[in-house]
Amino acid sequence: MDFSSSMAIKPSSSSCSSLFAISRTQNSSPKPLLFNFHGIPRNHQNSFFKSLKCIQSPPPGSLPSNPTSFSCSAVTLSPTQTSYLPPRKLSTLVAEFQSLLEPLDRVKRLLHYASLLPPLPASSRTDSNRVMGCTARVWLDAQMDSEGNIRFWADSDSEITKGFCACLVSVLDGAGPEEVLQLKTEDLAALNVGLPGVESSRVNTWHNVLISMQKRTRALVAQKERKTPFEPFPSLVITAEGIQPKGTYAEAQARYLSPDKLKVKELVHVLKEKQIGVVAHFYMDPEVQGILTAAQKEWPHIHISDSLVMADSAVKMVKSGCKFITVLGVDFMSENVRAILDQAGFGEVGVYRMSNERIGCSLADAAATPDYMNYLESASNSLPSLHVVYINTSLETKAYSHELVPTITCTSSNVVPTILQAFAQVPDLNIWYGPDSYMGANIKELFQQMTLMSDEEIAEIHPKHNRDSIKSLLPRLHYYENGTCIVHHLFGHEVVERINEMYCDAFLTAHFEVPGEMFSLAMEAKRRGMGVVGSTQNILDFIKQRVQEALDRNVDDHLQFVLGTESGMVTSIVAAVRSLLDSSNSTSSTKINVEIVFPVSSDSMTKTSTSASPALISVKAGDDVILPVVPGVASGEGCSIHGGCASCPYMKMNSLSSLLNVCHHLPDERNNLKAYETERFKSQTPQGKSIADVGCQPILHMRHFQAKKELSEELVYQVLGSHGNGK
């Protein structure tokens, strides 16, 4: 909606009080009324607006001599128009600031409104009323009055931010709940306010305060309607002093963050004695990650990361003297480690999995089907074509794919730049992404959103693209529609609904593999500086960055992050956050609380009898009722078809006992670990080539792109050759 064009303004010499003037009167509310319009009962507002003659700002660069009096133009609002009061008030606000052409004048106007905003009582300047994501400290309070309208009070320790708050309160204070909730963050885009060079942070302030206003409005409506509130998700609160779990699932996650010292000692001893390196994925079980994180302090050849870095870390460990590599992940990860070590000339180094059974992956399985090969057959008939395959696939899939269509692997962190560079480098290219359907749909949606950006904004993402090029590539971007990760698939509607209701003002993180509804939510948060969408490493880096920024501000703060990926990431997050807090604790008395929220479905908890297990945690569920609860759902590993998923059952096949068993049996002189060893592919592709050799080519193409930021000449030649026969 274009608010700036929604009202007619007629010249007039009359004058009246500004719509934003502060009333000095009080009503029955214990808190002061901020804006004089709201002193008028709602059932008398129509007659009030019939007599209202003016809404206009002072001339550019000036402030009124009387802060509650403006010279203005006549405007008449009909009774039907008053139902759109907040948009009309925002339209007036937009017109006022757009009339000020110089940034300094707009800042002066903000400071003027800040001076009119009454201070918030000390009783309301609490942590629970803080608005997250603002550079300055902002407090917001809200109540519903007797007529069902929402009253807002706000304050900040920054005068400019206080001006923002004054403007937003002027628009929404006294509005009905539906009017508050209908206002969109995009509607604030026309407000051209801020200091040169820092406009984005100012825009974020507008948006974050608005989101907090709407969250409080929903809570007040639910309270009035006596709706049963959502149960909060479980969470871990990290401080410099320790960790506080909230909820049984969080308690289970926290239990292993302080690992058994004897187990740590046993692991370190065998790793040192036998020169064993360990590479593990972020999604490991908390017990395993807790042990590994503690063991890292005494044995440096332990690395926990996303799948991209695991093979690189293994090569570094072997170069440093490790004789064996153990892989804690799913089978395609150990295959990648084996293949990359072979490519680096370390074929004599043994690579070991953590199970004598297959450790699967739903995405890898989706790509190892006739349906996926049929998808690529279609691609091979559309020249020129490039297959961008997610690294979460088997080496066999990579090899078979590469013989059908020239293929490059990608990760969730580099998939977008890979695709953009490929489209820029090869004219009329068709790109076929797979196998993750959610990621494919999210990529396409991301590019669709880019068509609404300016050429300058697009150039910051990729210098060789603009709106026209993004529009032209969309019909040539294809994605496979039958592949999902069982973990991220379960971040569905229930989870998104609860996040919207309870955590919309928190920092939102989402893996690129989540369903579209969760993706859109996180992307909206990202646009206002409150979210990240990407890989596990992107999520970890985002959390670390926001915690460091809070430490740099040197004020007490509470940061809340919704973890939109597998809960196994929490161990690495806790370790990183504790390191940051510990490093600042000696030089600052600032108290920073970092809360990690797990979006786990309410159905992901299983009640059991008190005699079932000695390790149960007792949870009080009322005045007298004590329920013993264990984390996890009856169908396995804390996942629920009704909402979020606690952890990946495949990853949990990598147990601590398996790791110790493998390590104690190395070197495998009696061939006890035959089923655990990652063997080279001895079979051949349909064209009679080694699966290991051909399967490594897409990975090496990605390595080249990572290093040079462009496709290799070899890959471009393959793409432009007939059906990729240039290989």
**Sheet containing 626-631: order of strands:** 605-607, 626-631, 617-620
Distance CA 282, CA 329 (A): 9
Cβ contacts of residue 191 below 8 Å, gap of 6+? 93, 94, 97, 167, 206
Nearest to 93 by CA among 207, 211, 172: 172
Catalytic residue among 72, 134, 485, 663: 134
The CA distance from 137 to 156, in Å, is 6
Distance CA 285, CA 299 (A): 20
- Concerning whether 165 is annotated as a catalytic residue, the answer is no
- The structure tokens listed for 339 are 């293949």
The answer to whether 173 touches 246, Cβ cutoff 8 Å, is: no
Instruction: Measure the CA–CA gap between 123 and 141, rounded to whole angstroms.
Output: 10
> Taken in order 174, 179, 180, 183, is the CA torsion positive or negative?
negative
Tell me the sheet residues that pair with 507: 561
Please answer whether residues 580 and 551 qualify as being in contact, where contact means their C-beta atoms are separated by less than 8 angstroms. yes
Q: Taking the CA atoms of the chain, what radius of gyration do you get in angstroms?
A: 29
Beta bridge partners of 351: 325
* DSSP structure string for 320-389: TT-SEEEEES-HHHHHHHHHHHHHTT-TTSEEE-S-SS----HHHHHHSSHHHHHHHHHHHTSSSEEEEE
Cβ 530 vs Cβ 206: under 8 Å: no
Answer whether 331's CB lies under 8 Å from 361's CB: yes
Distances 621 to 251, 499, 626 between C-alpha atoms, Å: 16, 23, 6
Distance separating alpha carbons of residues 531 and 527, to the nearest angstrom: 8
Task: Write the CB contacts of 569 (distance below 8 Å, at least 6 apart in sequence).
Answer: 282, 283, 536, 539, 540, 563
The answer to whether residues 500 and 470 touch, using CB atoms and an 8 Å cutoff, is no
**204 Cβ contact list (under 8 Å, min separation 6):** 133, 134, 528, 529, 530
Distances (CA, A) of 239 to 186, 242, 257: 35, 5, 14
Q: Measured in whole angstroms, how far is the alpha carbon of residue 573 from the centre of its chain?
A: 14
H or E segment and range at residue 553: helix 536-553
Catalytic residue annotation: 134
